Amino acid sequence: MAMDMVVLAAMVPKEAAMVLELEEDHLGLVLDKADMADKEKALEDNGKALEDNGKALADKGKALVDKGKALADKGKALADKGKALADKGKALADKGKALADKGKALADKGKALADKGKALADKGKALAEKEGLDQEALANSGMAIPIVSIMDTRRPDRRHLP
């Protein structure tokens, strides 16, 4: 038994050293686990921050898409308004051309009437000259005929003799 005690006594310091070594390793593992937990929490926080940033970017992207759609709609409305104005301008140009053509036709008609009036005036002048000569010849012969207008034949009180 004494021998057992000696062996046991010899073993105790080895075992004690092993226990101390195990405790140090265990303490290192515990510290490593604490560091790992802190790092995991930091990574988790970073992940949440990145997720929040991603959501914010997605919201900004959606807002930009909506703004782009609104601008496209506004551009389409402006294009439609421009087309309507162009159509209105074309209609006004066509109306102006029609009025110009009508004015030209009226001017041509007026010129024709003026030419006709001039021809009638020339004819009247020729007749007046002929009538004047005839009246002069009759007056010289003593048989002058009074000139009576058309109006004179309708109402006798309006007759005027020369």
pLDDT value at residue 20: 57
Domain map of the chain by residue range? 9-140
Those residues whose C-beta lies under 8 Å from the C-beta of residue 160, and which sit 6 or more positions away, are 152
Structure tokens at 4: 């057992």
Taking only the tens place, the pLDDT of each residue in 55-97 is 999 999 999 999 999 999 999 999 999 999 999 999 999 999 9
Q: What is the pLDDT along the chain (162 residues), one digit of tens a residue?
A: 445 555 555 555 666 566 556 666 656 666 667 778 888 899 999 999 999 999 999 999 999 999 999 999 999 999 999 999 999 999 999 999 999 999 999 999 999 999 999 998 888 888 877 776 666 665 666 555 555 555 555 555 555 554
CA-to-CA dists, residue 107 to 28, 86, 104, 110, 116, angstroms: 115, 31, 5, 5, 14
Q: What does DSSP assign to residue 101?
A: H
pLDDT value at residue 23: 63
3-state helix, strand, coil in the chain (%, to 5): 90, 0, 10
